[in-house]
């Protein structure tokens, strides 16, 4: 059990028999009254997000998740298949639990899978992924690495703004948290 004031981003709590992940929280201190914690939380079963307020001293049941090192195998419609690298079990995670991470999953990628009572709850991607550019408009003579950006299409279908010198076939390092270009790993 924790007090609501101890709630932090990424923590999982049990509210009314369902698991919720804290996405963001802020402590609001009133003049003479007690403090209130305003938290943005996500239901780990349905994916629904909403805000909820707690008294700062309200007790919440925190949940410990078991992290497993897994390898992404493939996707089958709305189901994502992984393999536990220790037990070789193959957990399946529905698309709604993958969320915004889905485009960044690459076959054979190793990542963390959080489990609770044998059920996959969420995945934690590596901070960056290396991915190929499949479509890039041509650069122009005189374009430099610091002269601006252009949109390119990656192998996963995501559009990213990159410097003018990036060409089709280049391998780029992309930040999975923001979807932003980091650096060119290999030129075309």
Count the helix, strand and coil residues of the chain and give each as a percent rounded to the nearest 5. Answer: 5, 55, 40
Q: Where are the domains of the chain?
A: 2-63, 66-124, 129-186
Choices 3.40.50.10440, 3.90.930.60, 3.40.50.720, 2.40.50.140: CATH for 129-186: 2.40.50.140
pLDDT tens digits, residue range 105-158?
888 999 998 888 878 888 888 889 999 999 888 866 555 555 678 889 998 888
- Domain 66-124, what fold? OB fold (Dihydrolipoamide Acetyltransferase, E2P) (2.40.50)
Read off the pLDDT of residues 12-71 as tens digits, 9 standing for 90 and up: 888 888 888 888 888 888 777 778 889 998 888 777 888 998 888 889 888 888 889 999
Ramachandran angles phi, psi of 140, nearest 5°: -115, 150
Fold identical between 2-63 and 66-124?
A: no
d(CA 177, CA 175): 6
pTM over 0.85: no
CATH placement of domain 2-63: 2.30.30.30
């Amino acid at each position: 059990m924790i007090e609501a004031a101890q709630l932090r981003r990424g923590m999982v709590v049990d509210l009314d028999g369902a698991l919720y992940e804290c996405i963001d929280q802020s402590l609001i201190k009133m003049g003479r009254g007690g403090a209130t914690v305003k938290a943005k939380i996500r239901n780990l079963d349905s994916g629904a997000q909403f805000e909820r307020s707690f008294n700062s001293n309200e007790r919440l049941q925190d949940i410990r998740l078991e992290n497993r090192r897994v390898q992404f195998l493939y996707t089958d419609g709305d189901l994502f298949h992984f393999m536990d690298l220790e037990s070789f079990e193959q957990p399946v995670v529905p698309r709604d639990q993958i969320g915004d991470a889905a485009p960044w999953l690459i076959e054979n990628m190793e990542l963390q899978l959080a489990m609770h009572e044998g059920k996959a709850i969420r995945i934690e991607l590596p901070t960056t992924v290396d991915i190929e550019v499949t479509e890039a408009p041509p650069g122009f003579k005189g374009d430099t690495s610091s002269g601006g950006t252009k949109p390119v299409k990656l192998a996963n279908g995501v559009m990213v703004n990159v410097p003018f010198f990036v060409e089709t076939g280049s391998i780029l390092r992309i930040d999975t948290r923001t979807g932003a270009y980091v650096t060119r790993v290999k030129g075309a």
